[in-house]
Structure 1
Amino acid sequence: MPYSPGILARGPWPLDRVSSRWSGKTYEPSPAQTAEADRVIAGLKDRGSPAYDGIAARLASFRVEDGALALELEEMRWALRLAEDALGALSVLCVVRDHEGRWLAGRRAAWVASWAGLWALGAGGAVDAGEDAALALGRELQEEWSVEPVSIQVEALLATPGDMTMLIGQAWLAPGAEVTRDHEHDAHAWWPSDPNDWPDDAHPQLQRMATLLSTEDPV
């Protein structure tokens, strides 16, 4: 059953209070879903994207108990997440704040699989097969921006209208910390701490998320 769009569970939780259990099962798509995934991957290759198509995570279930978040995950084909219905595929998004509370935004390159040419917050991506979802937040941050945070915590688990599930983390950087963007971004900027002051091309979805997260102070 698809999750209703919105917040499924709200933290914050320290990383060690979020656990991932892999069920050992693999999601079996319908022939139509497989065909759609094949079509999307072919389209990415046609525009020069070195699209990776392997195994990633799908959220099978979750529970919040005793101040902890427990995720049950199953394997699914990575390309299935790119269709109009993402089938519960789990992504992580680690938003990044500097010591003044500003938000790290990066413009996604034109060839990437998602949000191509658009501004996005922080670092994000799929959870690899067998990976701890909470630890994937820091991995993505290191891969995309080559920086170590002072602190990082899990803020929320949510579902999007397209049935993508997302584990949202928030990382804080030390004064003077420098970021180095990867090849998946062609520009970056530090947006003001108040989302109402963001540039006009900031996606409303990002502003809503930032407004929710900005109620939390640095830890």
Structure 2
Amino acid sequence: MPYPPGILARGPWPLDRVSSHWSGTTYEPSPEHSAAADRVIQELRDRGSPAHDGVAARLVGFTAEDGDLRLELEEMRWALRLIGDSVGALSVLCVVRDHEGRWLAGRRAPWVASWAGVWALGAGGAVDAGERPELALGRELQEEWSVEPERIQVEALLATPGNMAMLIGQAWLAPGAQVTRDPEHDAHAWWPADPESWPEEAHPQLRRMATLLVTESPA
């Protein structure tokens, strides 16, 4: 990092074809970035957020060849992912489909650190220090929606305009599976299988990503 915004590598990859290596180093931010992170954490505390600082993952490099995706990671301060320049912080996003192809959407609660009050797809968040990013997809799904997927795969690695790296996964639920939202969401809905039929509150970026997954992922 930094990489230009866009798709860095495109799968899909089964979970066992994704691996990661932690360098053992810790990213040292500039004084300006450290001060910005301090301000963000204080702002969260001032509005009653229970979010806390910690240690998360930063993408150092990657390779995608011979059907495998390999990530090179190092530790970084969690709060750095919340500043305007996220310095390569790695997050995961696990979009969730039911057996009819519908998409799980949740409205983020007003107190959360990112996308507050905005509708988002599935589950997502930071990769914890030492964690395998591909397994973080299922962890976030369990923590946010209390459900185990029938199957899950990694779809893509991308870079955002804010200099964040994001590992995108897609999970499918078995018929009859029930979701229970966590306190980070104050509402949820199942959006239609066709992203063109989504409601007005669907962010255009989410619609574009879903369209890509629909057109390029295997059934």
TM over 0.5: yes
* Aligned-residue offset at 1:6: 0.3
Corresponding residue SS for 2:12: strand
The residue type paired with residue 13 of structure 2 is W
Task: Give the TM-score normalised by structure 2.
Answer: 0.98
Give distance in 2, aligned partners of 1:54 and 1:109. 21
Identity %: 80
Shift of 1:217: 3.7
Partner of 2:88, secondary structure, is: coil
- The residue type equivalent to 2:190 in the other structure is W
| Map of 1:202 onto structure 2 | 202
5 Å-filtered alignment, 1:118-137, equals 118-137=118-137
TM-aligned CA deviation for residue 32 of structure 1: 0.3
- Deviation (angstroms), 1:69: 0.1
The structural deviation recorded for 1:156 is 0.1
Residue of structure 1 equivalent to 2:186: 186
CA RMSD of aligned residues (A): 0.7
- Listed as ranges, the matches of 1:21-170 within 5 Å are 21-170=21-170
Shift of residue 112, structure 1, vs aligned partner:
0.2
SS in 2 for 1:214: helix
Q: Which whole-Å CA distance do the structure 2 matches of 1:29 and 1:152 have between them?
A: 34
CA drift at 1:181:
0.4
Q: TM-score, normalised by structure 1?
A: 0.98
The amino acid across from 1:123 in the alignment is A
Deviations, residues 185-204 of structure 1 (Å, cap 9, x unaligned): 00000000111111111111
Matched, 1:8 2:8: yes
* Structure 2 spans left out of the alignment, 5+ residues: none
Q: Give the 4+ runs in structure 1 shifted more than 3 A.
A: none
| Structure 1 gaps, min length 5 | none
Which piece of structure 1 moves more, 209-218 or 66-75? Answer: 209-218
Aligned counterparts of 1:60 and 1:2: Cα–Cα separation in 2:
9
CA–CA separation in structure 2 for the residues paired with 1:214 and 1:141:
20
Q: Secondary structure at the match of 1:116?
A: coil
Partner Cα distance (1:9, 1:49) in 2: 34
Aligned residues: 218
Cα distance in 1 for residues equivalent to 2:46 and 2:196: 38
Equivalent-residue separation in structure 1 for 2:30 and 2:79 (angstroms): 13
> Within 2, Cα distance between the matches of 1:30 and 1:163?
15
Return the alpha-carbon distance in structure 1 between the equivalents of residues 74 and 205 of structure 2.
27
